[in-house]
Amino acid sequence: MPAIIETEVFTISELPDAAKERARAWYREGALDHDWWSFCYDDFCAICEFLGVELKTRPTKLMGGGTRQEPCIWFRGFWSQGDGASFEVERYAYAKGSLAGIMAYAPKDGALHAIARRLADVQRRNFFQLYASVDQSGLYCHEMTMRTDVRRDDAEMTADAEDEIADALRDLARWLYHRLEAEYEYLTFDEVVDEAIVANEYTFTGAGERFG
């Protein structure tokens, strides 16, 4: 004979502190199973366009059976040795007005301004004729796994050209990693997690375990 069992459930605000932490941990384990980094990627792609960086792409399967092209951006984080971000470049070439464009797009981001200025300066010393590609190397995906090939066809490059381009693009990878880390920390912040739990009307047992 079936029996009816009654269970007292609570909202996140009604739980004691220890149970709240367990409820938050449950949410964090599954809340970021989607592509939470997609906004960061979109922002990064826009920045690359300003700088004259054409990212390589790779086909990604869609649920409906088709494919779409995704940028070759990689990251792993956020608290282990070897964590970081990297990207692959089909072609980098000077983009006229890149510094002004970046300053208008991200007026308060001094790190991006410095990268754009560094690229513009080395291009100026080479009459804006440098171009480059970047490949991924090794098992990790931090900035030091990026292998940059810099060229200038019409004349010899200045002695600093290759290092300046490679270092600037690595700085851009570091910028991306910090941007991803900040987004992750925001999404897993206690107050943000609590708001999401409330919005989804999740309830818990008195011990903080998800009900149902």
pLDDT tens-digit profile of 98-127? Answer: 999 999 999 999 999 999 999 999 999 999
- Residue 69 lies inside a defined structural domain of this protein: yes
Q: Quick check: 65 pLDDT over 80?
A: no
End-to-end CA distance of the chain: 22
The answer to whether residue 12 sits within a structural domain is no
Q: Does 13 map to a domain?
A: no
**Where in the sequence is the domain holding 128, given as residue range(s)?**
34-198
Q: In sequence order, which residues have a C-beta less than 8 Å from that of residue 183 and are 6 or more positions away?
A: 36, 37, 39, 40
pLDDT at 194 over 90: yes
Residue 15 lies in a domain: no
Q: What is the pLDDT of residue 2?
A: 78
Can you say whether the dihedral through the CA atoms of 161, 162, 163, 167 is positive or negative? positive
Q: Is residue 212 part of a domain?
A: no
pLDDT at residue 133, rounded to an integer: 98
pTM of the prediction?
0.88
- What is d(CA 86, CA 173) in angstroms, rounded to the nearest whole number? 5
Q: Could you write out the three-class secondary structure of 30-97?
A: HHCCCCCCHHHHHHHHHHHHHHCEEECEEEEECCCCCEEEEECEEEECCCCCCCEEEECEEEEECCCC
In a domain, 169, yes or no: yes
* Cα distance between residue 206 and residue 109, in whole Å: 45
Distance of CA 4 to the CA centre of its chain: 49
Domain assignment present for 166: yes
Domain membership of residue 19 (yes or no) is: no
Please tell me the predicted confidence (pLDDT) of residue 42: 96
Between 62 and 46, residue with greater pLDDT = 46
Count of domains in the chain? 1
Tokens 């171009």 belong to 131
Residues pairing with 131 in the sheet = 93, 151
